[in-house]
Amino acid sequence: MVTRRGVLALAGVAALVVVAWPVGLAGWAFAAGNLLVLAAIAADWLAAEPGAIELERPAPEPLSVGRENAVRLIVRNGSARPRRVAVGDGPPPRTRLWPTTATVELGVQDELSIDQTLVPRARGPVRFLAAEVRVEGPLGLAFRERSHPATAIEAVAIADVIQLRERSLLPSGRRIGGLRAIRAEAVGREFESLREYVRGDDYRRISWKATARRGRPVVATYRPERRQTLLLAVEAGRLMVGGGGDGLDKLDRSVNAAVMLAAIAREYDDAVGVTVFSDRLRAALPAAARPGQLRRVLDLVSPVDPEMTEPDWEQGLAAASRLSQRRALVVVLSDAMYLETDARLTARLSLLARRHVVVFAAQRDAELATMAGLDVAGGESLYQRAAAVRLIDQRSAALTALSRGGVHVLDADPDALTEQLVARFHALRSAGVL
């Protein structure tokens, strides 16, 4: 193929013909000029040698849905001369990828990495497309292209594990490396250990006897009582399709919140169990505090997709309750509109709250909020606004009734669900409600 520079060279031949026309040499100029330029283009095309350029896509780690994940392409020059290489890539289905094009200058036997960012919009397989390279000849008159099928690899998008690095969500003074929990201090009533005073510590925590023995300030650290139980009930029915913002399902937001909550519970050495249900029980993991439980939770919830079915609340809540024989914190991740469509749901949740501490974590619908704020410009907009306001009012009344039944209610925007649910978990734990 001819580059812009090659086209300009051919255009220069046309200009030469125009100049040579008055002196009767137009034919000779046309033939000689085109022969010279076309020969140069052909030589440049042959010298491009796209086969000397190698392209590799390293297999990425499991990708976090809805997050910016770092991926990359590696381009190598295996030829004996410098190369100017343009790399073209395409986003896998249901993802955003940038940059998709890059031009690099490669020296002899040189290698460069092209850093990219990928945002998956759904959990599950992520199939990368085959990337292509375009190599210009040394004169810049022509180029050749080549596809690299080996870069068409498959990765997987799972629940958001990048959030596990967010220290603002973790218990105070704690951190998580990958999926491995590292235990440290937390606010509580049970003595854990002594450590040296650091700036910012509460003076009331100084142990004066230990300070006198060691000759330097020492503080006592405390922890909440351990081995409590967290049960996660993830509903995956019809109302969990879409509505999560940024192209995500509400179920994606629920799964992300469940994984983060499980990670924090394991920081406290709590037992964690999880159940996923729609019109049937989809998956269940009994509550346990054994090593690797967070990984088991992640593996169980990551493949789950929502289904256009009405959830079987009786079976789903009963399965969640059976995950532990002891009193537990049960977090139900669902949608508040089910309280309207299932007349017995409030009673079922209230009954469950007699045995366990129950949190019903609902997500607001962004589209409803937008419709409720519409400017009235005619009959259609008036109807849409009135319908949205009515649904929001019904939803609020249903959540209020649920709260009166002894259930802790959380009503959050989808993108704030994880943060608000974690805050509620910390508050309930600090209050010692279990």
Summarised one tens digit per residue, pLDDT across range 148-181 is 999 999 999 999 988 887 766 766 544 444 444 4
Angle between helices 4-20 and 26-48 (to 10 degrees): 170
Q: How far apart are CA 388 and CA 375, in angstroms?
A: 13
Give the pLDDT confidence of 177-191 residue by residue, as tens digits.
Answer: 444 443 434 445 566
The closest of 96, 95, 425, 384 to 260, measured between CA atoms, is 425
CATH 2.60.40.10 residue window(s) in the chain: 50-158
Element spanning 181, H or E:
strand 180-182
The closest of 235, 228, 263 to 361, measured between CA atoms, is 235
DSSP code of residue 311: -
Q: Which of 303-317, 338-352, 364-378 has the lowest mean pLDDT?
A: 364-378
CATH 3.40.50.410 residue window(s) in the chain: 226-430
Which strands make up the sheet holding 63-64, listed edge to edge?
63-64, 154-158, 124-127
The closest of 388, 433, 394, 395 to 412, measured between CA atoms, is 395
CATH no. for 226-430:
3.40.50.410
Give domain 50-158's CATH architecture. Answer: Sandwich (2.60)
DSSP code of residue 61: P
Say whether pTM exceeds 0.85: no
Provide the CA 333 distance to its chain's centre, in angstroms: 18
Q: What is the mean pLDDT of residues 345-353?
A: 95
